[in-house]
Amino acid sequence: MAMTYEALLKGHQSFITSSLPERAQQYHTLGTQGQSPRVLMITCCDSRIDPCELTGASVGDLFIVRNVANFIPSAETTDGIAYDSTMAAIQYAVLHLEVSDLVVLGHTQCGGIAAVMDTDDSTPATNEIQQWIQLIIPAKKRWHSESSSVSDMSPHDQCAQHAIQYSLNNCMTHDWLRSRVESNQLNLHGWYVDLATGQIQILEHQS
Ligand SMILES: [Zn+2]
Q: How far is the CA of 113 from the centre of ligand 1 (A)?
A: 7
Instruction: Name the percent of the chain lying above pLDDT 90.
Output: 77
Residue 198 C-beta-side C-alpha neighbours within 13 Å: 7
**Looking at the predicted structure, is the pLDDT value of residue 146 above 90?**
no
Domains of the chain listed by start with CATH number: 1-34 (no CATH), 36-203 (3.40.1050.10)
For residues 96 and 154, what is the distance between their CA atoms, to the nearest angstrom? 39
- In the chain, the amino acid numbered 16 is I
For residues 187 and 34, what is the distance between their CA atoms, to the nearest angstrom? 23
Q: How far is the CA of 164 from the centre of ligand 1 (A)?
A: 11
Which distant-in-sequence residues (6+ apart) come within 8 Å of 5 by Cβ? none
Q: How far is the CA of 109 from the centre of ligand 1 (A)?
A: 7
**Beta pairing class for 200-203 and 187-193:** antiparallel
pLDDT, tens digit, 9 for 90 and up, residues 2-29: 999 999 999 999 999 999 999 999 999 9
Q: How far is the CA of 16 from the centre of ligand 1 (A)?
A: 31
Please provide residue 169's backbone torsions phi and psi, each rounded to the nearest 5 degrees: -65, -35
Q: How far is the CA of 112 from the centre of ligand 1 (A)?
A: 5
Q: How far is the CA of 22 from the centre of ligand 1 (A)?
A: 34
Ion ligand 1 — residues with CB < 5 Å: 44, 46, 110, 112
Q: How far is the CA of 183 from the centre of ligand 1 (A)?
A: 31
Kindly report the pTM of this predicted structure: 0.94
Q: How far is the CA of 110 from the centre of ligand 1 (A)?
A: 4
138 or 49, which is more confident? Answer: 49
- Inter-residue contact 190 to 104 (CB < 8 Å): yes
- Inter-residue contact 181 to 171 (CB < 8 Å): yes
Confidence of residue 76 (pLDDT cuts 50, 70, 90): confident
Report which DSSP code applies to 4: P
Q: How far is the CA of 194 from the centre of ligand 1 (A)?
A: 11
